[in-house]
Structure 1
Amino acid sequence: MTPAAALLYLLALAADPAPQVVDGDTIKTAPQGRMRLASIDAPESRGRAHCLSEALLAARAKARLAQLLPGARIEFTGRRDGWNRPLIHLRLADGHTAGEVLVSEGLARAWDGARRDWCH
């Protein structure tokens, strides 16, 4: 991100300081649009779940990310996913990332490049 783009992003973020949680591994901000948490995979939601257990886990992951988001610092990795969304880390006050917390609580998996079934 260029210094000018970073400044525009910060100004826009100041105008709309509340990022929104889309699902367990995606947030949305006014200046940037949708951004994907790097290094994790959360269950699918919004009608894309393959079974009830995945849908329920997706709802829990989304709710937990919403708890972690306030006060988290967005760190851009400089990479993008297959849908051209910026890959980010949400750095928490304790130094951990939101992704690390979601994985440790069983609400997401470490991303290893392969899609895995969430249905049991």
Structure 2
Amino acid sequence: MHDGDTIRSCDGERIRIANIDAPEMRGSPKCRDRRRRGWCDYALATRSRDALARFLEEGRVTLRRQGEDRYGRTLATLAVNGRDAGQYLVDRRLARPWR
């Protein structure tokens, strides 16, 4: 797991959760480049990542692919036992909605 909106599947596929934006982890290029400032709250990024990891362990994960982003990651929504992972993080203020 990279951060609160990007994971790697068991077979190595990089997956970007399509419906949220989570804070960037320390060392992210978005945080190093002052012209392209991302959401760089490292403490919140760690909490978001850890909350997503715990949520994904709660049951069966389903993935709904929606194409790829500009970095070659699979864009998808994730759900655990029918509960949307992105909405789970947004409801806890660990991510914000993204379209």
What TM-score do the two structures reach when normalised by structure 1?
A: 0.66
* Cα offset, 1:82, TM superposition: 1.3
Query: Aligned residue for 1:111?
Result: 98
Q: Could you list the runs of 5+ residues in structure 1 that have no partner in the other structure?
A: 1-20, 113-120
Instruction: Give 3-state SS (helix, strand or coil) of 1:78's partner.
Output: strand
The one of the two structures with greater contact order (alpha-carbon pairs below 8 A, sep at least 6) is: 2
Percent identical pairs in the alignment equals: 39
Structural RMSD (CA): 1.8
Structure with higher Rg: it is 1
Count residues with an aligned counterpart. Answer: 89
Deviation (angstroms), 1:88: 1.6
One-letter amino acid of the structure 2 residue matched with residue 68 of structure 1: F
Tell me the equivalent position of 1:42. 22
Unaligned runs of 5+ in 2: 32-36
Find the counterpart in structure 1 of residue 88 from structure 2: 101
Alignment of 1:1-120 (within 5 A): 21-48=1-28, 49=31, 54-70=41-57, 71-93=59-81, 95-112=82-99
Shift of 1:37: 0.6
- Mean alpha-carbon deviation: is it higher for 56-65 or for 66-75? 66-75
| Displacement of 1:32 | 4.1
